[in-house]
Chain A
Amino acid sequence: MTFDSNAFLIIFTGALIAISCGFLGVFMMLRKMSMTGDAISHAVLPGIVIGFFVSGSQRSLEVIMGAGLLGILATLMIEGLRKKAKVQLDASIGITFTLLFAIGIILINLFAYKVDLDQECVLYGEIAYLPIDLWVTKSGLNLGPRITWLAGLNFFFVIGFIYLLFKELILTSFDESFSSVIGINAKGVNLALMSMVSYTTVSSFESVGAILVVALLVVPPATAFLWTKSLMPLLQLTAALGILIAILGYYLAYWIDSSIAGMMVTVAGIFFLLSAIIKGKKPSWLQGTYKAAKPLGI
């Protein structure tokens, strides 16, 4: 088999996106906020449209900033509905993201004559077009696929974010009131995480689409959590799953000639189902026994 540079680029980009989403997804899952990630990925739509309208380009900083702001707005709305209006969390998520998404659809229709953007593109994305969408500088230098650069930049930011705020993310996820007591700004950390999720969502839109981003946020961490109960292996396993999903997703899609992003998520779903079946059936003698606590010798 010869080296197929297009295949490599698609898999590489897919893996970068899957790992970025997976890492953020681990923390969303630990905060029991996986569905907030879903909400954000839909709620950013009006931000994208407005950013697009302001800048006139689908690839501008305004689009990412608009989406980031809407992501934060969605988070605040969900929290506000839950705490101030005493709406259940799931209901407040449902209200928030459908409302913002609907506004996004209306905006697209209103500006449709000016804006080259449609629901299809936002919802589904297409990673297969990646090798023909190149980043060419003004002097004519070809730097390779634009989306790979975007995914790489996003990956870099996600890793940096998690590295810098690792202990704050862990502590606020585990015990929010304790973190407030020792003076760590739990709300700030939460909003920072949500902004990263918004940014990642937008950055991944073009390649995998809004719906599939959600799957990459939720499914690999949930699968990994079935296999391990400690944090570092959880992150490692999530990353490994991301790479595996990208490789298998690409070749299966190639084989049956279908959507790569769709296949990536299907593969992720199959991994999850298999894990759930295997771990669910684990016999009691495999689980080990509890060691009794040593009596205190004080």
Chain B
Amino acid sequence: MITQVENPVLEIHDLTVSYDQNPVLWNVDLSLPSGKLVGILGPNGAGKSTLIKSIMGLIPPTSGYVRIFDKPLNDVRARISYVPQRESVDWNFPASVLDVVMMGTYGKLGLFRRPGKKEKDLAMQCLEQVGMTGFLKRQISELSGGQQQRVFIARALAQQADLYLMDEPFAGVDMATETAIFQLLKEMADSGKTVLVVHHDIHSAMNFFDWVIMLNLHLVASGPKELVITEDLLRKTYGGKLNLLTKVTDLIRNKDFNPLKS
């Protein structure tokens, strides 16, 4: 079940990625429309993060290619934003919340130029969007996991990109914050930006995403949520993990099930 689109924002063609000759992604071939909130779902070790990293050029592909806005990556770096996994950095680093968010503006500044008032204003605005204005001067080592995640999202916002790639932005974030951030991402998608999110909670995925990519080493599905979240495809993606699967199919049934009608 793979839906290809015309004039894609992101086109991945026959992508195979391997670590030390062991392929971790096989022949992924998909395209994404603009202005959508896209979820990447799959079990642990399915290659979700690898897919994002190879889109960003952090891991060179064994074969295949990626085109973004119909151009190679190097031509469009300024239009792409990235939220790495929270654990990928050392949060003991001596920087304040504002320092980290300002880093989002560095790409557009270029070599040797220092951020000024314009960049600071932008960073403040982004902090406000994620509700972290009160933590401006706070050292990042003193933040909770959810707050760190919000700082990373604010940094991505400060890049003012058109395509956002987020690797597990909801890991360690409480439900209220998750919903609030999803709303924010939704607004971004509505204003024409494309947001790609690695996620593993199928329940909230069904509520929020417009488009879903299902991955388990191979590409299982890519398409509008309504077409893609089916029992058959979920079984293919998650394999034998029945407990999880039963819960999901129950959820789907409950949604269609209306006792008053029968």
Contacts and interface: CB of A to CB of B under 8 A. Distances in A.
B105 to A, nearest CB: 9
Contacts of A229: 92, 94, 139, 141-142
B210 interface: no
Interface size class, chain A? 20 to 34
Contact of A230 (B82, B94, B103, B114): B94
Contact of B103 (A30, A166, A174): A174
A290 B111 contact: no
A181 B94 contact: no
A170 B146 contact: no
A169 B159 CA distance: 19
A295 interface: yes
Contacts of A32: 90
Contact of B107 (A184, A225, A228, A295): A184
A293 B146 contact: yes
B103 A290 contact: no
B177 A296 contact: yes
A229 B92 CA distance: 8
A99 interface: no
Contact of B130 (A175, A184, A234, A296): A296
B134 A294 contact: yes
Nearest to A30: B93
B176 A167 contact: no
B195 to A, nearest CB: 15
Contact of A174 (B89, B135, B176): B89
B99 A231 contact: yes
A171 B131 contact: no
B21 to A, nearest CB: 13
Contact of B106 (A177, A184, A234): A184
Interface in A224-270: 225, 228-231, 234
Nearest to A234: B94
A209 to B, nearest CB: 30
Contact of B57 (A180, A230, A296): A180
Interface string A146-190: 000000000000000000111110110111011111111000000
Interface centre among A30, A178, A294 (most CB of B within 10 A): A178
Contact of A298 (B90, B114, B180): B180
Contacts of B146: 293
Contact of B88 (A30, A177, A184): A177
B94 A182 contact: no
A296 B111 contact: no
A8 to B, nearest CB: 33
A280 interface: no
B100 A182 contact: no
B180 to A, nearest CB: 4
B58 interface: yes
A140 interface: no
B184 interface: yes
B107 to A, nearest CB: 3
Interface string A266-298: 000000000000000000000000110111111
A173 B103 CA distance: 12
Contacts of A170: 95, 99, 103
Interface in B89-120: 89-90, 92-96, 99-100, 103, 106-107, 109, 111-112, 114-115
A274 B115 CA distance: 38
Contacts of B214: none
A279 B140 CA distance: 19
Contacts of B103: 167, 170-171, 174-175, 178
A171 B112 contact: no
23 contacts: A167-B109, A168-B106, A171-B103, A174-B93, A175-B89, A177-B58, A181-B58, A181-B80, A182-B77, A182-B82, A182-B159, A184-B107, A228-B94, A229-B139, A231-B99, A291-B134, A291-B135, A293-B132, A293-B144, A293-B150, A294-B131, A296-B131, A296-B177
Interface of A: 30, 32, 164-168, 170-171, 173-175, 177-184, 225, 228-231, 234, 290-291, 293-298
List the 6 shortest-distance A-B pairs measured between CB atoms, nearest first: A182-B107, A296-B180, A296-B131, A183-B77, A181-B82, A231-B94
Given A177-B56, A294-B131, 15 more contacts: A30-B93, A167-B106, A170-B103, A174-B89, A174-B103, A177-B84, A177-B88, A178-B103, A180-B58, A181-B58, A182-B78, A184-B107, A225-B94, A293-B144, A297-B131
